């Protein structure tokens, strides 16, 4: 059975698509067969971050409408043979997706032997976001450690616990917190909420803390998910998050201010 994971948030611009791409690559690198779907109809960014934008011929809406087969629309990643991208449409309306159509695509992927299906959700609570989360088994809630992002994510948690198929069947979507753009220095000075603050407000356990880093933007501009920039702190933090998602017990890194040693204080290193 395929495990369906929605990557979601209340607020836009917190790093959902970056996170979807990196988690998908992290799972594929561990040998799992993975599909990642862009639910942001009308915008479409996932294919840019995955570096396959020039290879999009058919998209998610084409498949839902029966204008193309799933096999025609899936783009095989150039780095991993077991990773596939299903791009969103840039030219359709957000109402182009239907629950029945989305369910059929997810079922066909599961029947085709996919281990994980990642749903890269648009921000907020409109139709695309609702459909991205409706069939989910697990949710990765992406949050920046600042008040408006946390407050908006609280609304998403309400929908996950009441408006999903699991909720309708009396179950629950397994929820994880992914903190992005985290700066220990700014937490120390009180400019940013701490991990404990966010966990307390949302009632979730943190699966990963991605440090604030220019590497994320640089990787996106190159069409390369940042998790593949192996020397980067952000890449290592995403890899840790994927490990925890799979049940590994890993210590949290990049969450404290690095203390300067005696010699670096003297020589200004």
Average pLDDT over residues 95-121: 96
CB of 202 closer than 8 Å to CB of 195: no
Identify the pLDDT of residue 91: 80
Identify the pLDDT of residue 115: 98
14 is in an annotated binding site: yes
Residue 11 clears pLDDT 60, i.e. is over it: yes
17 is in an annotated binding site: yes
What are 167-189's pLDDT values in tens digits?
999 999 999 999 999 999 999 99
11 is in an annotated binding site: yes
Which position has the higher pLDDT, 99 or 44? 99
16 is in an annotated binding site: yes
Average pLDDT of the residues of the chain? 93
Q: Is 63 left (phi over 0), alpha (psi -120 to 50) or beta?
A: alpha
Residue 111 clears pLDDT 80, i.e. is over it: yes
Single pTM value for the model: 0.94
Identify the pLDDT of residue 267: 59
pLDDT band at 55; cut points 50, 70, 90: very high
173 is in an annotated binding site: no
pLDDT band at 262; cut points 50, 70, 90: low
Distance of CA 152 to the CA centre of its chain: 17
Paired sense of beta strands 75-76 and 34-38, if any: unpaired
Residue 138 clears pLDDT 90, i.e. is over it: yes
Distance of CA 178 to the CA centre of its chain: 9
pLDDT band at 123; cut points 50, 70, 90: confident
Token digits for 111?
A: 């029947």
- Is 3-246 a domain of CATH 3.40.50.970? no
Average pLDDT over residues 134-163: 95
3-state secondary structure of 264: helix
Residue 266 clears pLDDT 70, i.e. is over it: no
What are 28-40's pLDDT values in tens digits?
999 999 999 999 9
Identify the pLDDT of residue 264: 57
Identify the pLDDT of residue 1: 87
Average pLDDT over residues 2-21: 95
Lowest average pLDDT, out of 43-47, 104-108, 200-204, 248-252, goes to: 43-47
Token digits for 93?
A: 């309306």
- Count of C-beta atoms within a 10 Å radius of residue 112: 14
Distances (CA, A) of 125 to 8, 53, 121, 132, 215: 10, 26, 10, 10, 30
Identify the pLDDT of residue 58: 96
214 is in an annotated binding site: no
Write phi, then psi, for 180 (nearest 5 degrees).
Answer: -115, 160
Paired sense of beta strands 3-8 and 75-76, if any: unpaired
pLDDT band at 125; cut points 50, 70, 90: confident
């Amino acid at each position: 059975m395929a495990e369906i994971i929605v990557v979601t948030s209340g607020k836009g611009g917190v790093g959902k698509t970056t996170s979807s791409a990196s988690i998908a690559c992290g799972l594929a690198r561990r040998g799992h067969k993975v599909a990642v779907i862009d639910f942001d109809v009308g915008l479409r960014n996932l294919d840019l971050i995955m570096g396959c934008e020039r290879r999009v011929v058919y998209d998610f809406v084409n498949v839902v409408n029966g204008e193309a087969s799933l096999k025609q629309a899936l783009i095989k990643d150039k780095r991993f043979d077991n990773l596939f991208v299903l791009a969103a449409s840039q030219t359709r309306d957000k109402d182009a997706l239907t629950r029945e159509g989305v369910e059929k695509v997810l079922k066909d992927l599961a029947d085709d032997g996919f281990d994980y299906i990642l749903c890269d959700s648009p921000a907020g609570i409109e139709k695309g976001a609702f459909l991205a989360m409706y069939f989910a088994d697990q949710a990765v809630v992406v949050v920046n450690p600042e008040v408006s992002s946390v407050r908006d994510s609280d609304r998403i948690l309400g929908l996950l616990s009441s408006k999903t198929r699991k909720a309708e069947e009396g179950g629950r979507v397994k929820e994880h917190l992914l903190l992005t753009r985290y700066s220990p220095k700014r937490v120390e000075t009180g400019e940013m909420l701490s991990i404990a603050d966010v966990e307390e407000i949302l009632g979730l356990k943190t699966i990963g803390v991605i440090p604030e880093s220019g590497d994320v933007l640089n990787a996106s501009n190159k069409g390369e998910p940042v998790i593949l920039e192996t020397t980067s702190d952000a890449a290592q933090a995403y890899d840790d998050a994927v490990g925890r998602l799979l049940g590994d017990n890993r210590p949290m890194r990049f969450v404290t201010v690095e203390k300067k040693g005696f010699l670096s204080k003297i020589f200004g290193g």
